[in-house]
Amino acid sequence: MGLVSDGRKAIALVRKAVRNRSAVRDVRRRLAHAPQHPPFHYRVAVYFADGAVNMYQMRQWYKPLAGLAKIWPVVVLSRAATGAQALVADGALPVAFVPTVRDLERFISTQDIRVVLYVNQNTRNFQMFRYGRRWHVFINHGESDKMYMTTNQYKAYDYAMIAGDAARERLSRVLWDYDLDHRTIAIGRPQADHYSGELPYTPDDRTVVLYAPTWEGDRPSAHYGSIVTHGEALVRALLSTGRHRVIYRPHPRSGVVDAEYGAANKRIVAALASANAADPTAQHVFDDKPDLGWQLAAADVAVVDISAMVYDRLAADRPLLITRPVDPAAAIDTHGYLSACEWLTAADAADIVAQTERVLADPDAVARLEQWVARYFGDTTPGAATARFHAAVQRLMDDWDAWYARSADGSDEEPEDEAELDDDG
């Protein structure tokens, strides 16, 4: 068995290497025919060291960053070949493919980057931290009460842009000797200003249920995924009524750790296709597209796992149910919204129709949601979060000017280092 396992791992490594080399060639070919980066043009950079599998972390920031770029030119510094390939194909923002440290140094030496934004906690972020005379800012890829949101890694950044009071309170409980007032900037959820998009179905009198589970997690404390424990049962029940429309949006990493989780995901997709074939008017949706917005606004009820999707839906101020993890080791922060949310247990998953009707009929639901929305996101008036995002970047730019003016000579010499090729490059 050991030899078989080793053989499979070797084959997987070879396949990954082939994919990466192919991605490198494709990226370089595309960029060779793309407009060249003007020298000393960009003021803001988004550092992304991940491959294509984590592109959801970047894609949710496309529209807010595109708006910011109208004020401060923005470029994505992409370190991994498959991630760069996806970024270039999307064409949402200018991309600099910088797989080695030397590539990175060469590019930033030709630009005037003053603010670097980070959407995740990739360990290769530290290769960018080494460059001073610019602000390093964690903007994250979602708001939630997961343990990821209170990591001590926040201290590695000059600043963190957070959603609101709930995030500040969460961090204050966990981080020691961290100046929250100075190093965190509340901006709300700028993505919520772009909750739009064309519906892939014709609206009718069906109750629309969004089921958006997260992936299975890579350790017991993060076992939040519900596809196996809740998903098949609740989708089966909804498909059987003829009165519901399901929008199924699984996490793109579903099944990367647990093969059974991936298999259950495929069975749900197949069930939706079968239901549509039997009744074309049903128009159930398997949603694997990068854009997120219309799903949150259109669904009458959302069923989500403990993930950023809870808070994306919360920002839409619409009813939702949260699947309660079966694994007792799964960490649940009950200080925030999860202390007062509507849970859906695995035992109640097959009774999803009654559960959704109960939530929709709750007369106090709107008032409760508005209270939690204000705590997590502050003012959610359309455009308010975008204005705070822009103001936060403006503040950093002003601070940069002040620090630069006080510096002795304004020089920006960077430390030398040997070029290093990243795993995916």
**What is the model's pLDDT at position 33?**
85
Residue 9 in this model has a pLDDT that exceeds 70: no
What confidence tens digit (pLDDT) does each residue in 268-317 have?
A: 999 999 999 999 999 999 999 878 889 998 999 999 999 889 988 988 88
What confidence tens digit (pLDDT) does each residue in 112-124 have?
A: 999 999 999 999 9
- Per the model's pLDDT, the better-predicted residue between 21 and 241 turns out to be 241
Phi-psi region of 206 (alpha: psi -120 to 50; beta: other; left: phi over 0): beta
**Dist. CA 75–CA 36, nearest whole Å:** 12
Q: Which CATH number fits domain 207-377: 3.40.50.2000, 2.40.30.30, 3.40.50.880, 3.30.10.20?
A: 3.40.50.2000
What confidence tens digit (pLDDT) does each residue in 212-235 have?
A: 999 999 999 889 999 999 999 999
Domain 9-188+383-406 has CATH 3.30.40.230: no
CB 221 within 8 A of CB 325: no
Kind of pairing, strands 244-248 and 184-186? unpaired
Residue 153 in this model has a pLDDT that exceeds 50: yes
Among 61-65, 169-173, 184-188, where is mean pLDDT lowest?
169-173
pLDDT band at 369 (very low <50, low <70, confident <90, very high): confident
User: 3-class secondary structure for 336-349?
Assistant: CHHHCCCEECHHHH
What confidence tens digit (pLDDT) does each residue in 83-95 have?
A: 999 999 999 999 9
**Dist. CA 400–CA 398, nearest whole Å:** 5
Q: Answer positive or negative: Cα dihedral of 25, 26, 32, 36.
A: negative
What is the DSSP code string of 249-301?
---TTTTSS-HHHHHHHHHHHHHHHHHHHH-TTS--EE---S--SHHHHH-SE
CB 292 within 8 A of CB 256: no
User: Looking at residues 67-92, what average pLDDT do you find?
Assistant: 96
Domain residue ranges in the chain: 9-188+383-406, 207-377
What confidence tens digit (pLDDT) does each residue in 305-342 have?
A: 998 899 889 888 889 999 999 999 998 878 789 888 99
